[in-house]
Amino acid sequence: MNRRVFFNAVAITAIAGRVSAGQASSPHKDEEDVRRAEADRFAAMVKADAASLDKLLAPELSYTHGDARVVDKSVFLAELKAGDFKYLTITPTDIKVRVYGNTAVVTGGAGMDIVNKGAPAKIRIRYTNTQVKKNGAWQMVAWQATRLP
């Protein structure tokens, strides 16, 4: 093999490696995966599906409700299971996902029909959450909601 062919083969191998690595974790694919995780999480909250939420929420979750109350993952799931706070519908709006390696910041809004200790309510929020990719799956580590008037 002459020197030129060898260097061309090395260059093609290097480029192919970068392309295949990029496809495995491209920002576009990661953004789609984060959007899917968000949709799955909202659906699980409406269904009160604690098993699905357990996979979508990181163990170190910090969840700040629109009323400024902060709970961890265990409290969030316990409250959902107890039925004191029920999500009847969640309609997300204006979702933006920004991926930074294995971290994603999600901003958006949502309209929610809820029941809080037996009292039905319609609320609107703006939110920011942080997702981290662990073992190939996106999990929410932080949620901050602000209730709109």
pLDDT top residue among 67 and 71: 71
* CATH class held by domain 3-147: alpha beta
- pTM to 2 decimal places: 0.80
Amino acid at 119: A
Structure confidence at residue 126 (pLDDT) = 98
Q: Parse the chain into domains and list their residue ranges.
A: 3-147
Q: pLDDT digit string (tens) for 90-148?
A: 999 999 999 999 999 999 999 999 998 899 999 999 999 999 999 999 999 999 999 99
